[in-house]
Structure 1
Amino acid sequence: MRLEHLQSALSIAASIIVGMVGWSGHVLLLPVALAFPILWMLARTRLIAAFVAAGYFLAASWGLPQGVATFYFSDLRPGLLLWLCASLSFVGVHTILWTRRSCTRPFRYLAAAVLMTIPPFGITGWAHPITATGVLFPGWGWWGLVAATAGLMGLVTRAWPAVIIALAGFWLWSAAIWTEPTLPEAWQGVDLELGASLGRDISLQRHRDLIATVKGRVSGGSRWIVLPESALGSWTPTAERLWIKALQGTDISVIAGAAVVDSGGYDNVMIAISGGGAQLFYRERMPVPGSMWQPWRPMLAQSGGARAHFFANPIVTIADHRVAPLICYEQLIIWPVIQSMLYDPDVIVAAGNGWWTKGTPIVAIQRASTEAWARLFDKPLVFSFNT
């Protein structure tokens, strides 16, 4: 019994290490997460499988409590509560589907992986091992996703040592030749360091400062300038007129985040602006649960909160570009990027407002995840973040 307890303790400790290392924000370390299915398989009981899943997920998302505390200017308690609540779907799915039967285990794990990809469980489907596909099989596209899925199933069979050796070979080869996603021609992402004021300061002076920043960043033939999530604050007719007038006489087009507010709540959106006009072209499919998306409000006869447009606008056409937008939280989960790739976009545009994540690896994880998907499908990628 003591040996079994020691083995179980080591499995749980290993799952914590796997979660922290795999999701440290370094793209080439994402394949470390592939050790999780092995640890899940090796659990001796359903309870140990639950602890292994909890250790992995909580370690992978350890920055959440601190980030929530910073966002709400509070202590760690609200963040800890959200952290634990978010883990329930991951732990619950992997606990219920765990089995001792080796013949059905690969299909059970496949079911768990699929459930953590799509809503409702996929809403908190962070730290999904399938994200490592772009590191293992860069440029393979959908065939890479098939190969990685087969690999994940193989990791929960008796043949797992051979499977892990094969995947490690792909990992080492990829790391040796790794290149970052290309920046599309004439596009440029602008990173800002405006902290919590971005999106909250909606004065005309802030808009003028952003316009000056855009014009100052135009170089080397860049025509499409991307600003972070919430850069424009609450989008109003006054702000629209100011931006259009400022861009008249130039060939600059700006893509920036904003909020469109009405009596029922708001949409987190991206807007394209040029001297010829402005176009609201994207409404966020999955805002951050809890802090932004609050689905319980209508049941309590309350308004407010961001709306989720789960499967809407996977790609948008701007001029002659087919764009796959990903705003902040959408870069951490699976179905938005997979849905967008079904439509074969020309470029991925990833924007975020991560000032509240200071001291955590959350923004680095967002970047690493998006970079891995861009490399898998060989798509140009534009980043724009505020910190």
Structure 2
Amino acid sequence: MRRDHVRTAALTSVAVAVGWIPWSGQVVLLPVALAFPVIWALVPNRAAAGLVSAGYFLAASRGLPQGVATFYSSDLWPGLLLWFVASISFFGVHAVLWTSTSAKRPHRYLASAILMALPPFGITGWAHPITTAGVLFPGWGWWGLAATTAGLIGLVTRIWPAVAIALAGAWAWSAATWTDPKLPDSWRGVDLEMGASLGREADLPRQRDLIATVHSAANDGAGFVVLPESALGFWTPTVERLWTKALDGRSLTVIAGASVVDADGYDNVLVGMSAGGGRVLYRERMPVPGSMWRPWWGDSEGARADFFANPVVILDGRKLAPLICYEQLIAWPVLQSMLYDPDVIVAVGNGWWTANTSIVAIQRASAEAWARLFAKPLVISFNT
């Protein structure tokens, strides 16, 4: 029994490191997460499986307590509580599905990987090892996803050393030849540093500042300019008229984040604007649970989750796969979008509340990995 305790403590420590290193914002380090299924398979019992799973997840999502404290201007306790609650799905699924029977282990791990990639468990399915597919097999698309899934299954079998060597070889080759996702011709993603004021201060001077930023990008040759999540504040007819007038006479399309409010709550959206007018392009499928999406409280002021709606949108003949903020941290929104073979991935966020954490860097790395897997151009726009 004492031997099992020592083994569990050692494996939990390794799981913490395996959660910390890949989820630090360096895209080429993502394959370190592939060590998690090996650790999960080596634990001596179900309780140990829960401990190593919790250690991995909590380390990977370590920026959450500080981010929540900043968002709500509070101390760390609410963030710590949310951090723990968010981990329940991950360590619960992996603990329940763990088995000491080696023949059943591959099927159990595959089931846990699928559950953590899809709602409802996938709503908090951060740090999913399947994200590494884009680093291991860039450009392979669905075949790369299948190869990575097969590798994950192989890592919980007795031949895991051979599988690990093969995956390490793929990782080394990819890292040596790595190139960032391409930016589509004439597209610009604008990063802003406006902090918490973006979206909250949406008065005329702020709108004019954003318009000037867009015009500057257009003068540099951009035909499509992307602004971050929440950039416009509330989307209203007045805001639409202001921007339509500002774009008059220019062959320019602007995609920007905004909120659409009604009596039942609000939608976190992306709007498309040009000289011909503006419209809501995309409604966020998965807003941030807790701070935005709050169905368990019956809060009519919360953001709506559109789940599997509008995985792609059409703009000027191009098929776009939008990902707003939190959607970049979980697997199913991007995988659903890729089923429709989009032309461009558009990833936006408003990460002012993540200061002094690695959350925005992780979002960027995840978006880059998915874009490289499916060989899709990527446009990123964040506010910090």
Q: Deviations over 1:4-43 (max 9, x none)?
A: 3222111000000000001111000000000000000000
Partner of 1:114: 114
Partner of 2:344: 347
1:235 matches 2:231: no
1:130 matches 2:127: no
Distance 1:322 1:193 in 2: 29
Q: Aligned letter for 2:201?
A: D
Q: Is the 8 A contact 1:263 1:303 kept in 2?
A: yes
Q: Aligned letter for 1:373?
A: W
Partner of 2:204: 204
The aligned runs of 1:264-303 (5 Å cut-off) are 264-298=264-298, 302-303=299-300
The aligned runs of 1:121-200 (5 Å cut-off) are 121-200=121-200
Distance 1:36 1:218 in 2: 46
Select 1:357's aligned residue among 354, 358, 378.
354
SS at match of 2:349: strand
State the 1:3 CA deviation: 3.4
Q: Deviations over 1:177-202 (max 9, x none)?
A: 00000000110000000000000002
Partner of 1:66: 66
Q: Aligned letter for 1:377?
A: F
Q: Is the 8 A contact 1:297 1:304 kept in 2?
A: no
State the 1:221 CA deviation: 2.5
Identity of aligned residues (%): 68
The aligned runs of 1:320-331 (5 Å cut-off) are 320-331=317-328
State the 1:2 CA deviation: 3.8
Partner of 2:36: 36
State the 1:320 CA deviation: 1.3
SS at match of 2:86: helix
State the 1:220 CA deviation: 4.3
Partner of 2:365: 368
Unaligned runs of 5+ in 1: none
Q: Is the 8 A contact 1:204 1:239 kept in 2?
A: no
Q: Deviations over 1:289-312 (max 9, x none)?
A: 0000000233xxx42100000000
Structure 1 residue runs of 4 or more that deviate by more than 6 Å after TM superposition: none
Instruction: Count residues in correspondence.
Output: 384
Distance 2:212 2:222 in 1: 15
Partner of 1:76: 76
Distance 2:285 2:357 in 1: 25
Partner of 1:100: 100
State the 1:283 CA deviation: 0.1
Distance 1:209 1:187 in 2: 20
Distance 1:52 1:304 in 2: 37
Q: Deviations over 1:309-341 (max 9, x none)?
A: 000000000011100000000000000000000
Partner of 2:381: 384
Q: Aligned letter for 1:41?
A: A
Partner of 2:50: 50
State the 1:219 CA deviation: 4.1
Q: Aligned letter for 1:330?
A: E
Distance 1:182 1:213 in 2: 22
TM-score (norm 2): 0.99
Distance 1:316 1:103 in 2: 44
1:307 matches 2:304: yes
SS at match of 1:22: coil
Distance 1:166 1:49 in 2: 25
Partner of 1:333: 330
SS at match of 1:229: coil
State the 1:252 CA deviation: 1.1
Distance 1:115 1:8 in 2: 25
Q: Is the 8 A contact 1:131 1:369 kept in 2?
A: yes
TM-score (norm 1): 0.98
Q: Aligned letter for 1:378?
A: A
SS at match of 1:296: helix
